[in-house]
Amino acid sequence: MRKIVFSSLIALKFSLIFGQVSENEISKDSSTIESVKGKWDMNLDIASRYIWRGQSWGGDYPVLQLYGNYNVSEKFSLGFWTTSNFKKEYYDKNGASKGYQELDFVLNYSPTDYLTVSLQDYYWPSTDRQEGVSNDFFNFGNDGSQSVDLQFLFDFSEREIPLWATLSTLIAGNDFRYKDENDEKGKQNFTTYIEFGYTYEAPLKTELAPVIGFVINNKAKYYTYADYDQPSFVNLGCKLSRDFELGKHLTMPVWLNYTYNAASHSANLEPFGKQFLVVGTTLTYE
C-alpha cells in the first residue's frame, strides 16, 4: 500500500484518539475497544518506519501517524488514519520506495461485541509527479491511487478470549489483474488478506501479540512484496508493548514490532528483505 501528508491534521491531536490496531479505534487491520457515544478518540503514533502487512512503504524513514475515531452510536463509528515520512522523492536513486503519504477514511459497524464490519477507503497519492499515475481523489481506475477495503474484524477479548482475526477483501479501486499485455482495462481482482492474532499478558506489565497474516490471491500484485501466483505468508510477527500512565487522561504505549515476510519469491522482496523491526510510541488522549 501507499498513501496524504497530514500536517494540517496534527493540530487536532489534543482534542481527539486511536485506530490502527483495535475496534472502535479506527483500525487498519484488527479491532475492538469499548466506545462511548458522541466521543472523539484520537492517537498520534511516532514510529521508526511504516510496515503494513509485511509491506515496507516509504523506506527506512521515521513516520508520524495520526488517526481518530468518532462514535456516532454504540454500533456505528467514523474515522480516519494518516501517515507520512515527509520525504518529497517518491523513489530513491535505486528505484525503491522513499517518500510516502496516505489518508484513509473508515466506516465501522459493530453488530456484536466481537464483530466489526469496516469499510476503509485507502488513498496513497505519490509525493511527486509520476508518469502514468493519477493522484485525483475518487479515481478508482488502474491509473489511480485509491482502493476500498471491506473488512470483517473479529475480536473476542470481551468474551475473555484473547484471540482476534481479520478477513479483508479489496472491493474497488486500483486492484486489477490483466489477461495479457494487450489487456489495457484489466479486471477487478478482489485481493483477499487473512490475519490471526493472539494477545498474551506477559510479566512486567507487558503484552505480547503474535500474528500470522497471508494473502490468498495476489494476481493483481497489490501486495508488491509477496508471491503473485500462490498464497503468500507476508506477515509473521510479534508485537511487544507496555503502557505508561502520564496522567489521568493520558497514556503512552511503547512498542516493539517484529515482522517476517515469508514470501517465497525472493526477488519480490528486494530491496528491503524479509525482516523488519519497528519501534514506536503512541500518544493517546481519552
Q: CB 109: neighbour CB atoms within 10 A?
A: 14
The Cα–Cα gap between 3 and 228 comes to 22
Residue 71 in grid coordinates: 462514535
Query: Among residues 283, 201, 202, which one has the least CA distance to residue 245?
Result: 283
Rounded to whole angstroms, the Cα distance separating 138 from 38 reads 28
Is residue 58 within 8 A of residue 85, CB to CB? The reply is: yes
What is the pTM assigned to this prediction?
A: 0.85
In a domain, 75, yes or no: yes
pLDDT band at 37 (very low <50, low <70, confident <90, very high): low
Summarised one tens digit per residue, pLDDT across range 161-209 is: 999 999 999 999 999 999 988 998 899 999 999 999 999 998 888 999 9
* 267 Cβ contact partners less than 8 Å away, ≥ 6 residues apart: none
Cβ atoms < 10 Å from Cβ of 180: 5
Return the half-sphere exposure (C-beta side, CA atoms, 13 A cut-off) of residue 80. Answer: 18
Q: In sequence order, which residues have a C-beta less than 8 Å from that of residue 115 and are 6 or more positions away?
A: 152, 153, 154
How far apart are the C-alpha atoms of 65 and 18, rounded to whole Å?
10
What's 8's DSSP letter?
A: H
- Does 33 map to a domain? yes
pLDDT of residue 89: 93
Q: Which residues span the domain enclosing 143?
A: 7-285
CB contact at 8 A, 263 and 233: yes
| 1 within some domain | no
Mean pLDDT of 12-16: 33
Residues whose CB falls within 8 Å of the CB of residue 189, separated by 6 or more in sequence, listed in order: 170, 175, 176, 177, 217, 219, 220, 222
Give the model's pLDDT for residue 245. 82
The angle subtended at Cα 142 by Cα 141 and Cα 143, nearest 5°, is: 90
> What residues pair up with 84 in beta bridges, in sequence order?
64, 101
Confirm whether 2 is domain-assigned: no
**First-last CA distance in the chain:** 30
**Residue 123's pLDDT band (cuts 50, 70, 90):** very high
Q: What are phi and psi of 7, to 5 degrees?
A: -55, -40
For residue 84, which phi and psi values (nearest 5 degrees)?
-160, 145
Give the containing element (helix H, strand E) for 66.
Answer: strand 63-71
Instruction: Kindly state whether residue 274 falls inside one of the protein's structural domains.
Output: yes
pLDDT tens digit string along 247-281? Answer: 776 778 999 999 999 999 999 998 888 999 999 99
CA–CA gap between residue 149 and residue 169 (Å, rounded) = 6
Lowest mean pLDDT among 64-68, 155-159, 166-170: 155-159
Domain count, the chain: 1
Which of these, 205, 241, 229, 225, lies nearest to 274 by C-alpha position? 225
Contact 284, 250 (CB under 8 A): yes
**CATH number (domain holding residue 192):** 2.40.160.40
* Cα–Cα distance measured from residue 283 to residue 84, given in angstroms and rounded to the nearest whole number: 17
DSSP letter at 267?
A: G
Note whether residue 153 is domain-resident.
Answer: yes
